[in-house]
Amino acid sequence: GAGQYFLALSFAMVGRFSGGPAKAAILASGMTGMISGSSIANVVTTGTFTIPVMRRIGMPAVKAGAIEVAASTNGQIMPPIMGAAAFIIAEFIGISYFDVVVAAAIPASLSYIALLYISHLEAQKLGLKGLPSVEIPPLGKTFRSGLHHLIPIIILVYLLMVERWSAHSAVFYSILSLMGIILARRIVHSIRFESQPMAEALRDGFTEIYLGMVAGARNMVGIAVAVAAAGIIVGAVSSTGLNNAMVGVVEALAGGNVYILLGLTAVLCIFLGMGLPTTANYLVVASLLAGVLVELGNAAGLVLPLIAVHLYVFYYGLLADSTPPVCLAAFAAAAISRADPLKTGVQSFLYDIRTAVLPLVFLFNTELLLIGIESIWHGVLVVFMSLLAILAFSSLTQGWLIVKVKWYESILLAVACFMLFRPGFFMDELAPPFEPVNFEAFASGEFTPESGRYVRLHVVRETNYGERFKLFVFETPEDQAATVTETFGVTIEPEEDGRYAVVDLAFNGTAEKAGLDWGDYVTGVDVEQLDLPDKQLIYPVGVLLLGLVWLSQRTRRRRIDGTAAPA
Cα separation, 257 vs 248, in Å, equals 14
Query: What single letter denotes the amino acid at residue 178?
Result: L
Burial class (CB in 10 A: 0-12, 13-18, 19+), 418: middle
DSSP type of residue 469: E
Asked if residues 497 and 392 have their Cβ atoms less than 8 Å apart, the reply is no
Q: Which pLDDT belongs to residue 472? A: 79
Cα separation, 220 vs 235, in Å, equals 22
Cα-Cα end-to-end distance for the chain = 51
DSSP type of residue 449: P
Asked if residues 36 and 42 have their Cβ atoms less than 8 Å apart, the reply is yes
Q: Which residues contact 385 (CB under 8 A, 6 or more apart)?
A: 420, 423, 539, 542, 543
What pTM was computed for the model?
Answer: 0.86
Q: Which pLDDT belongs to residue 246? A: 72
Q: How many CB atoms within 10 Å of residue 558?
A: 11
Question: What 3-state class would DSSP assign to 294?
Answer: helix
Q: Which pLDDT belongs to residue 483? A: 61
The 8 Å CB, 24+ separation contacts for 366-369 are 366/305, 366/308, 368/106, 368/107, 369/103, 369/104, 369/106, 369/107, 369/305, 369/307, 369/308, 369/311
Mean pLDDT, consecutive 10-residue stretches, the chain (567 aa), reads 82 87 86 75 86 89 93 86 80 86 92 93 87 86 87 87 84 91 88 79 91 86 76 75 71 75 86 79 82 76 84 90 85 92 92 93 92 90 95 94 93 95 87 82 71 81 73 72 68 80 84 83 84 88 96 92 63
Cα separation, 247 vs 174, in Å, equals 42
Q: How many CB atoms within 10 Å of residue 456?
A: 18
Cα separation, 355 vs 425, in Å, equals 21
Q: Containing H/E element for 463?
A: strand 454-463
Q: Which pLDDT belongs to residue 109? A: 93
Cα separation, 283 vs 277, in Å, equals 10
**If you compute the radius of gyration of the chain from its CA atoms, what whole number of angstroms results?**
27
Q: Which pLDDT belongs to residue 63? A: 93
Q: Which pLDDT belongs to residue 567? A: 44
Cα separation, 462 vs 523, in Å, equals 13
Asked if residues 27 and 75 have their Cβ atoms less than 8 Å apart, the reply is no
Q: What single string gives the DSSP state of each residue in 475-539? A: EPPTT--SSHHHHHSEEEEE-TTS-EEEEEE-TT-HHHHHT--TT-EEEEEEEEPPSPPPGGGGH
Query: Of 35, 19, 38, whose CA–CA distance to 115 is shortest?
Result: 19
Residue 470 phi, psi (nearest 5): -130, 160
Orientation angle between helical segments 306-318 and 258-272, nearest 10 degrees: 50
Q: Which pLDDT belongs to residue 484? A: 64
Domain boundaries, the chain: 2-216, 373-431+532-567, 434-528
> Which sign, positive or negative, has the C-alpha torsion 151, 380, 534, 479?
negative
Alpha helix positions (H), 194-241:
198-240
Asked if residues 19 and 59 have their Cβ atoms less than 8 Å apart, the reply is yes
Pairing of strands 454-463, 434-436: unpaired
